[in-house]
Chains A and B, each alone.
Chain A
């Protein structure tokens, strides 16, 4: 049989601390014996005036007084929580519950106090942990949804609202699972369940690839993060984080496809390939590239280009690479010294790479060592130059008799003038006027002979292609002089037309240009000399238009017996009975190397018309006259 409840015993010995207070001055009129246990002060000190002012924490005092007074005035009493200083310096949370009692006209509060420090600490911890979670959730860059252990939505951040396309109010209390893409739902539930099963052991899942299904029914690839939070009161919450992988997937696919494309290249060609980012750091280099520098691939990736290739190579390529990093595909051929000190010829191509927003995020660079090609080209050029020279020599050989004649004319005049001058000097009296005239002629004729010799010498010289100012008209006139005798011999009349225009200057090699016109004019003479009767004519005309001079060599011979004039320019094709058949081929090569063109046409009168077009240079004001 249980003992009946004894209120007095309860009051005197129970956990509650009873008190009686005058609300008008907050004086404790009576307090139970447990008061000492509550705060550690002796019972008597509670009755002192101003006890509450000392004991209640300063921040809480105003509210405490306020609540008490209102309660007393309302007649209902009050309950309130506040902090108090214990005698040992600690702070105790106190709950006060009071009721209003009237005795003999005075208003009194009869109530009790209870130490609720423990509860309060738990509450604050809980509040703090909830606040922390709330803060994490609010500020996370990813979409976050807070659920309970079963997966019911409790909270979500703005990013989650935007990702899932639901407001919190629409989904709070519902399961998160329907918002996971169908085929992942089961796995998702498993992962979540795994927390319960393994409790503390697995509290975080990071980096699983999932997909979610937002309101519009589409599917978004996400990376899932799951972490478990246990509140102080034991409740378990799950923080579900979702990172949108759409952009990353696209970039990864791009990089993969780029690297897929690049890798086979590196295995097939001996090219050096690399990917460089916007900051001019290597993002990827292939074996060949690393090997060239004698580095390991991983040593190069991540480093600045400038650091790896060195100042001198960097200075060759930096402008071109910079252009590519601005978005323009660029290339150049550079001469560089490799790490062993050998001179190399490198063809460099830079191709800008674009990200999904169409801005440049780097460039692909491909380098070919073209030393062999360069050497082959040089050898080729030397061959061509030699061939051209051989052709010149051959032409000069054909013209030997004519040239000899051209020299004989002035020479015989010199001999005759010299002898005449001598006789005039010996005459009595000497005829000095005649002597003077004779000597003037000697000088002029000797110069004429010298000119012919130097034209020849120029044609015969073995030398590098020159790059100088050449007077086109003067070249044509020299050629006319060289062939003069030949033309006469064959009964051919060579006419050179007037030049109406500015400065007939082009840039090039005078010997080679002379060779071209010599070839064309000789062909014309050859051709027209086959006519049985006069007139046999070769006409050379100039037309100038803008910055181009056209020289037309026209003959009235039988023309060329081909339908396609172009076929004349094939090597070893000749209509001449002598010669190598290389003349027109070489002439065209030379003309084109000078930036010009050479074409053949049937002339209106039945003969041949060869047209040479050459670019004229404009004399700049800085040129010395």
Chain B
């Protein structure tokens, strides 16, 4: 598997999570940028240049699933990894039905995180 060489957008309203995940990706040499909300990400136009989108489901305003719908409209092939801090069972089905590759449950380990991105993009990390 080819090594992942692109950059990742992390969209989560929680600043701690945002910083941590972007740092974690940096620590394995992957470029990553954080966004506090769906609209912020969509307006940034990174949509077309990002290689993987890590997207939190529970956000105020536009939820992760709504962002995903928007993304699918604009770039149907963008690999998306959803993450959530809540454990309601219903999300998993919806998440996968909407075209996400995986739904990660917080807290997750770095291995799980990297594996999910690898799965979504078809490229390995680190």
Contacts and interface: CB of A to CB of B under 8 A. Distances in A.
B58 to A, nearest CB: 5
A80 interface: no
A401 B87 contact: yes
Interface string B53-92: 0000011110100000000000000000000011110000
Which of B21, B27, B86, B106 has the most A CB atoms < 10 Å from its CB?
Answer: B27
Contacts of B61: 493, 534
B24 interface: yes
Interface of A, secondary structure class, is: helix
Contacts of B58: 405, 485, 488-489
Contacts of A487: 60
B16 A445 contact: yes
Contact of B24 (A406, A419, A491): A419
Nearest to B28: A423
A437 interface: yes
B27 A408 contact: no
A503 B17 CA distance: 33
Nearest to A401: B86
Contacts of A414: 20, 107
Contact of B20 (A402, A417, A485): A417
- The residue among A410, A424, A444, A487 with the most chain B CB atoms within 10 A of its own CB is A410
Given A408-B106, A485-B86, A413 B19 contact: yes
Interface in B19-47: 19-21, 23-24, 26-28
B14 interface: yes
A416 interface: yes
Contact of A415 (B28, B85, B109): B109
Interface size class of B (residues with CB under 8 A): 20 to 34
B5 interface: no
A404 interface: yes
A488 B59 contact: yes
A451 interface: no
A404 B23 contact: no
A411 interface: yes
A520 interface: no
Interface residues of A, number: 36
A235 to B, nearest CB: 122
B86, B88, B109, most chain A CB atoms within 10 A: B86
A415 B110 contact: yes
Contact of B109 (A419, A421, A423, A485): A419
Contacts of A441: 16, 19-20, 23
B85 A408 contact: yes
A85 to B, nearest CB: 136
Given A416-B21, A491-B63, A448 B28 contact: no
Contacts of B17: 409, 412-413, 416
Contacts of A445: 16, 20
Given A409-B14, A420-B20, A404 B85 contact: yes
Nearest to A448: B16
B88 A437 contact: no
Contacts of B87: 401, 404
A369 interface: no
Given A485-B85, A485-B86, 8 more contacts: A411-B107, A413-B16, A413-B19, A419-B24, A423-B28, A438-B23, A441-B16, A444-B16
Interface of A: 401-402, 404-406, 408-417, 419-424, 427, 434, 437-438, 441, 444-445, 448, 485, 487-489, 491, 493, 534
21 contacts: A401-B88, A404-B86, A408-B107, A409-B16, A409-B17, A409-B85, A409-B106, A411-B107, A413-B16, A414-B20, A417-B24, A419-B27, A419-B109, A420-B26, A424-B27, A438-B20, A444-B16, A485-B85, A485-B86, A488-B13, A534-B61
Q: Which 6 A-B pairs have the closest CB atoms?
A: A412-B107, A416-B20, A408-B85, A423-B27, A413-B16, A419-B110
